[in-house]
Structure 1
Amino acid sequence: MTNDAVLQTEPTAVRPLDPAERRMLIQQWAERHGVDTARRLAEAEDLADAVAAEITPGNTLDTYAKSWRVWGRFCSAAGLPELEGSCGALVAFVAWMLREGQQNGMGYAPNSADTHLAAVVIGLRERGATVSGDDQAQARKALAGLEVKLLQAGERRGRGQAVSADIDGLYAIARSCPDTLAGLRDMALIFTGFHYASRAQDPAGLQSGDVTLHPRGLVVAVLTGKTKHSVRNAKIGYAQDAEICPVRSYTNYRERLVAEQGPRWADPSTPAFVGIDRHGHITGGLVPDSVTRAIKRISARARVPIAWTGHSLRIGLASTGRRKGKDGIAIADQDGWARHSRSMLGYMQRDDGWDDSASVGLG
């Protein structure tokens, strides 16, 4: 999903035991260790299932649910049982998705089909169905082959990579935002997000205590990782031009928020970025979808040539930083990428492939 696809490869998931498997396992434990120990082991299994459910990211669960609905539509159309994940069924599922799988009758992009296939395999296994690795591999092979056929036929599907945010766009946004709490919030959201290469979920998860003022700027404690959480402290300095300064825009927004909505908003546990309705009322914290919608709305109001998406700020820092001569490792550390990340290098090179061309400067 450009939103850093939740399931680019098959995610790891713990499949809860079905009732028959559970009874058999408890019986085996009782025979080996006694009834009391078997009961305690069963309670530990319950706890493990609860913890797994608790720590699974919400967007991953949403993807599983959506993909299972797609599988249900396919099974209904093909007259196949939902809980049979045979090689033939999975290959037919892939072909159906590319041909007509969307609800409007259009075919999915191959990346989306791959995401749904991975999630459906997990869903089948969670529900007690057997899906072998070989059967899944055959479905993936079919998907890859059909994607080649689409390309050979001149058909390219999917939205492609998001447009990159840039400095000209920041100026346009600064000049289009009204002098209201919502306008100041919009500028702060864009300017800070650009400078720490935010994904849509990053500002949605920030509390005001995660953004601290430093003599040289702001330090933003960004929660990272989908399975193992860690925090990167992104440092954002003052800009030379106050009009697009992320530090000044954020402090102006927070000061206006407290002045207009009351001192409780100075509490470090409040959301860093709040939702504001058209009447100026606070609706709570932002969620990733509302951040994505806000970025698109704000950039459209500023009349940037192509409206930005939730990933534009992340791409923008990498590509702009590269053009300004910033070191690749410094960009990676600021953005939370692995050093020499292929995604990051792709963002850097997307505007100009000349500087790194192997043919330049040879003669």
Structure 2
Amino acid sequence: MTTSEQTETSTDVRPIVTPSLILPGAAGGTPAEFTPDVLAKLQELEDRSKKHEQNTRPRNTVEGYAADWKQWTEFCALLGLPVNAITPGSLTAFVEWLWWQPGWKEGTYSAPSTIDRRLSGVVVTGRVEHGLLLAKTVAARARRVLKAKVKELEKSGEVRGRGPAAAFTVPQLRAAVAAAPDTLLGLRNRAIGTLAFALMAREHEVAYLRLRDLVDHENGLLVDIRVSKVKPRKVKVPQGSRPSTCPVRTWRAWRKMAGLTDPDGFAFRALHPRWHTVMDSGLEPETIGDVITALGAAADLGVRHTGHSTRRGGADAARRAGADRKAIAVHGGWAANSSALEVYFDDGEGWEDNAMNGVL
């Protein structure tokens, strides 16, 4: 065992057993003023706080974490482990077990991205719902094992999963906007596509925007993203150079034509299936993804885009335009040092300063 592994093990295994409530100044025992009634009340407040935190998560995130934890409990039952036994060793074994679980398509196995997400889901659920004090590096070894397995896949040529979402490039977005019908539905979909691109937003972040969250500014829009997978953020969206793909102009046109005035109402509404009138109900995150997919399909771009394509495309376009990596991460709500964001950058870079430019 290497020194780094010894350090990781010693820091990651120790904090598994966690008291349900850590009291101030309670290192040498419970202070006298913390009577049983006070402790019961504090525990009730703690439980309510955790429930409130869970309720503010996007539904798809909650469902994803639930699916991840279900796989973890099944794995623990097979090995006879308690579910709170979240250690570097158990998570590594979890990766080994998941590697041979069925994939999304018959005859396939779990995709590496799915396994990586399950690791995150287990660790987050362990911390938030089970009160475990887990080190930040608790899943580091498991991810190194997963990375080694991915390299072996590359050597063998085996393909797992559907692959990453194709980025919506700026030329493709222009073509998609041009192909959208000149109707209320078409206007709404153009507003969704251009704003999702400009915000580098996740599907649920667009779906849960309220009218009050988009405030006009002399330079564009101030957008308050209150519901987010990572954390809320406020984003400045400048006006675009082309009216057709300007998210500010397109949003204002949709707001006016749809007659949106209720500040508490959804920014993007469902339309009546027959009369195409604006309804009070908002759109599900999956519907936002369907809208973005339909925009690309209508333009016959030869690439199938998903709801994640505008998020990825916005980050890639910003990087190509010279934006700082940290600024992009803040704008799009990525965690610091996000591995997903680095992959986007790696895929999009290397052309302007390519060693073969002008050689042949």
TM-score interval, normalised by the smaller of the two chains: 0.7 to 0.9
Per the TM alignment, residue 255 of structure 1 is displaced from its structure 2 partner at its CA by 1.5
Matching residue's letter, 1:251: R
For residues 102 and 318 of structure 1, do their structure 2 counterparts lie closer, same or farther at Cα, with a shift above 3 Å needed? closer
Q: After superposition, give the CA deviation of every residue in 1:279-320 in whole Å (9 maximum; x if it has no partner).
A: 225261123222122211222122222122222212223333
For residues 356 and 342 of structure 1, do their structure 2 counterparts lie closer, same or farther at Cα, with a shift above 3 Å needed? farther
Question: Which aligned pairs between 1:155-166 and structure 2 lie closer than 5 A?
Answer: 155-166=158-169
Query: In the aligned structure 1, how far is the partner of 2:281 from the partner of 2:82?
Result: 40
Per the TM alignment, residue 64 of structure 1 is displaced from its structure 2 partner at its CA by 2.2
Which aligned runs of 4 or more in structure 1 are off by greater than 6 angstroms? 14-17, 86-89, 127-138, 338-342, 358-362
Match of 2:234 in 1: 232
Match of 2:113 in 1: 111
Match of 1:317 in 2: 314
Match of 1:8 in 2: none
Q: After superposition, give the CA deviation of every residue in 1:51-83 in whole Å (9 maximum; x if it has no partner).
A: 12211323443222111333455567x585774
Matching residue's letter, 2:163: G
For residues 147 and 285 of structure 1, do their structure 2 counterparts lie closer, same or farther at Cα, with a shift above 3 Å needed? same
Which one is further off, 174-183 or 325-334? 325-334
Match of 2:98 in 1: 97
Matching residue's letter, 2:182: D
Match of 2:11 in 1: none
Question: 8 Å contact 1:329–1:340 — kept in the other structure?
Answer: no
Give the secondary-structure state (helix, strand or coil) at the position aligned to 2:237. strand
Give the secondary-structure state (helix, strand or coil) at the position aligned to 1:213. strand
Match of 2:211 in 1: 208
Per the TM alignment, residue 94 of structure 1 is displaced from its structure 2 partner at its CA by 2.7
Question: 8 Å contact 1:163–1:312 — kept in the other structure?
Answer: yes
Paired residues in the alignment total 332
TM-score by length of 2: 0.73
Per the TM alignment, residue 116 of structure 1 is displaced from its structure 2 partner at its CA by 1.9
Match of 1:180 in 2: 183
Query: In the aligned structure 2, how far is the partner of 1:345 from the partner of 1:114?
Result: 16
For residues 105 and 72 of structure 1, do their structure 2 counterparts lie closer, same or farther at Cα, with a shift above 3 Å needed? farther
Match of 1:167 in 2: 170
Q: After superposition, give the CA deviation of every residue in 1:332-357 in whole Å (9 maximum; x if it has no partner).
A: 26545689977556535534513244
Question: Which aligned pairs between 1:175-324 and structure 2 lie closer than 5 A?
Answer: 175-223=178-226, 226=229, 228-229=231-232, 231-240=233-242, 242-258=243-259, 265-279=260-274, 280=276, 282=279, 284-323=281-320
For residues 158 and 43 of structure 1, do their structure 2 counterparts lie closer, same or farther at Cα, with a shift above 3 Å needed? same
Matching residue's letter, 2:315: A
Question: 8 Å contact 1:237–1:247 — kept in the other structure?
Answer: yes
For residues 117 and 213 of structure 1, do their structure 2 counterparts lie closer, same or farther at Cα, with a shift above 3 Å needed? closer
Question: 8 Å contact 2:16–2:133 — kept in the other structure?
Answer: no
Per the TM alignment, residue 151 of structure 1 is displaced from its structure 2 partner at its CA by 3.1
Query: In the aligned structure 2, how far is the partner of 1:277 from the partner of 1:108?
Result: 39
Matching residue's letter, 1:267: D
Give the secondary-structure state (helix, strand or coil) at the position aligned to 1:350. helix
Question: 8 Å contact 2:266–2:281 — kept in the other structure?
Answer: yes
Q: Where does structure 2 lack aligned partners over 5 or more consecutive residues?
A: 1-14
Per the TM alignment, residue 46 of structure 1 is displaced from its structure 2 partner at its CA by 1.7
RMSD: 4.2
Question: 8 Å contact 2:202–2:308 — kept in the other structure?
Answer: yes
